[in-house]
Chains A and B, each alone.
Chain A
Amino acid sequence: MSLLSLDQVTLRFGGVVAVNNVSLSVNEGEVFGLVGPNGAGKSTVFNLISRFYDPAEGSISFDGKNILKLGSDKVPSLGVARTFQNIELFEHATVLQNLLVGRHRHRKTNMLSEIFFTPAARKEERRHREAVEEVIDFLDLQPYRDKMIAGLPYGVRKVVELGRALASEPKLLLLDEPASGLSVEETQDMAYWIEDIQKQMGITVLMVEHDMGLVSSVCNRVLALNDGKELTTGTPAEVQSHPAVVEAYLGTDGISKT
């Protein structure tokens, strides 16, 4: 059953068609990959799902609900969490605080109970901490939990961002290039985590990635984009060998030479 579906979505920036008539449907429980050369419109698709952009045409629905009617802060409350291509963490807060912000969609307390820190507020707070500590354990963030983001190395930040998304206990996780800039070992860790996220936590994953090794090892299905248009959808192996995809990456010359 499809959890997220985009139906003939088109987005234009002035004269540029960033996303052109793209349809995709992500099934519950799968890891779905979006690949394509730079500027193909992959991150734009993410930003459409996050409701940072309004599509010109088409519809986007999540869990059977039309999300185009919702504001960008309402989408996460349905259970959609995301990471960003150029890490967008809260720089002047600790790792722990960053993860706790991920819990915001589960906030049940209101301003008054928080100001007076009623017993109910404390109970809620303990619940948030418990959920966050689980994420910290899962991602091995223990050594960094009280460190400021501003001083952390790039690889760790990437993991913290994943952790912040996980802390919200999403149904759908959007990962924007989770392995970009990571070392071989770190990419390996990321692959294991994504597998665990899918298999143990039962979270559906939609990811944009350039590292084809990672894509073929974790993704069930892959959609290839170029110039905002869908090229093909299929298993990683199918997509990788599809002539249109090869052409998009290597140009027509690449085909004639191989």
Chain B
Amino acid sequence: MKSAIQVLKEQFNHFYLVRRLSLYEIKSKNKNNYLGMLWEVLNPSIQILIYWFVFGALLGRAPVEIDGKEISFIYWLMAGFILWTFFFQSIIHGSKSIYTRLRMLSKMNFPMSIIPSYVIFSQFYVHLVMLGISIIVFQFAGYYINVYFVQLFYYIFAAVCLTFAISLITSTLSTMIRDVHLLLASVLRMMLYVSGVLWPLSILKEYPPIILTIIKLNPLYYLMEGYRISFFGSEWYLITHWQYTLYFWVVILVLFLIGATLHVKFRRHFIDYL
């Protein structure tokens, strides 16, 4: 508990640093390519097109129904996939954030817990741009901004919380045991298929309900549903499914407590693991 408060305090006290460092982060990553930061947007766009081609065009996925409305598969996919890209990139880069930067941070009084957060933040800018583009596309496709859009801010915040809580754990563990990072990459690959990014869970109707419940235990699924409801739906998802909301925040809290405890316990010795 004490370490959790300490980590939170560091986040707030050094928020300026998080913002500045995250900008350098994107800059240094895209310094070598001619199109620069455009790649941050191009990459996920190309991926969406590929998945749309495979699942939508080749396998002929039917439109998905949300709150009684039919949503074309491509738009449905897009709404989930931008969240997925943010989640995937943040977790992957967050996990290796500490051990790849430790040498550079030659000072101990640098608050280590902001390393994963500024890496996540650099992804967050990209996410905001992607969201902006998607919203514009949805306007042309006929899914207009309405009052339920307000929920989106809540889900964006929740997504940042989830990625930070997970990254706090994985960045500590993968600094100590490098294999964790490799394992994580494999697990994430699987997550893409079971988090409801590429296909709606409604096609599981004929299977025993227990499978659906297990899939819903994944906190990312809560966010997926939330994003899509905000774009296309007509309900206040976080209130109508308040048990699920409660479950989500309990999971975040537990993950964060574990992460903060691990981080504070081992951070003094990170350099010994290099």
A binds B: no
